[in-house]
């Protein structure tokens, strides 16, 4: 014979309330999980490089260029203005350096220290860098200026992400 067990009202109400509570909890938790995971599911908008000008605009003397990048951090989107010191050597190789000093984050400028011409100079703590961004030994910075990835397309210069400058410090 079959096992025909009856359930009590109390057991039925327990099952009904647990099922309803579970359904309501899932309804509340699902949007929270979606909110937390949503940025991972969205595609990345835009490219990784930004045009900063024609390659012919640059030469052996460093030129400061400013450019805007679109930044997306989760749900927060913003436009940031960045800058770079760009030079082109006699071989046509382009070097784009970050103007942020590696000592304490001040902004470096080109050729502004009369005692040390043709160098990047940080006025905050007298940091110095050569034209390729290598830090001058004996000055506060302990690393060379970061450099941007560069790409030339159709005669225009595009800057990408920052990367560490591989040049070691030089004596000055």
pLDDT for 111-127, tens place per residue?
A: 888 888 889 999 888 88
Quickly state the pLDDT bin for 69 (edges 50, 70, 90). Answer: confident
Residue 104 pLDDT exceeds 80? yes
Give the integer Cα–Cα distance in Å for 151 and 51: 9
Give me the chain's average pLDDT, please. 85
pLDDT at 40: 66
Six token digits for residue 123? 């006025």
pLDDT at 19: 92
Mean pLDDT of 66-70: 87
Distance from CA of residue 100 to its chain's centroid?
14
Domain layout of the chain by residue ranges: 1-42, 50-163
Mean pLDDT of 65-91: 84
Residue 46 pLDDT exceeds 60? no
pLDDT at 41: 67
Contact 80, 68 (CB under 8 A): yes
Residue 2 pLDDT exceeds 80? no
pLDDT at 17: 93
E strand residue ranges, the chain: 50-54, 63-73, 76-88, 94-97, 109-110, 120-122, 127-129, 147-153, 156-163
Model pTM above 0.75: no
| Topology of the domain covering 50-163 | Rieske Iron-sulfur Protein (2.102.10)
pLDDT at 172: 67
pLDDT at 39: 67
């Amino acid at each position: 014979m079959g096992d025909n067990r009856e359930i009590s009202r109390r057991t039925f109400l327990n099952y009904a309330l647990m099922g309803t509570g579970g359904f309501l909890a899932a309804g509340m938790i699902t949007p929270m999980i979606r909110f937390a995971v949503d940025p991972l599911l969205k595609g990345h908008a835009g490219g990784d490089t930004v045009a900063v000008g024609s390659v012919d605009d640059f030469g052996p003397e460093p030129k400061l260029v400013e450019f805007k990048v679109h930044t997306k951090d989760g749900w927060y989107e913003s436009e940031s203005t960045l800058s770079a010191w760009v030079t082109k050597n006699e071989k046509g190789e382009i070097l784009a350096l970050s103007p942020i000093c590696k000592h304490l984050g001040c902004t470096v400028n080109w050729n502004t220290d009369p005692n040390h011409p043709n160098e990047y100079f940080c006025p905050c703590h007298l940091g110095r860098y050569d034209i390729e961004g290598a830090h001058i030994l004996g000055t506060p910075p302990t690393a060379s200026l970061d450099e941007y990835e560069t790409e030339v397309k159709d005669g225009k210069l595009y800057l990408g992400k920052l990367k560490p400058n591989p040049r070691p410090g030089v004596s000055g």
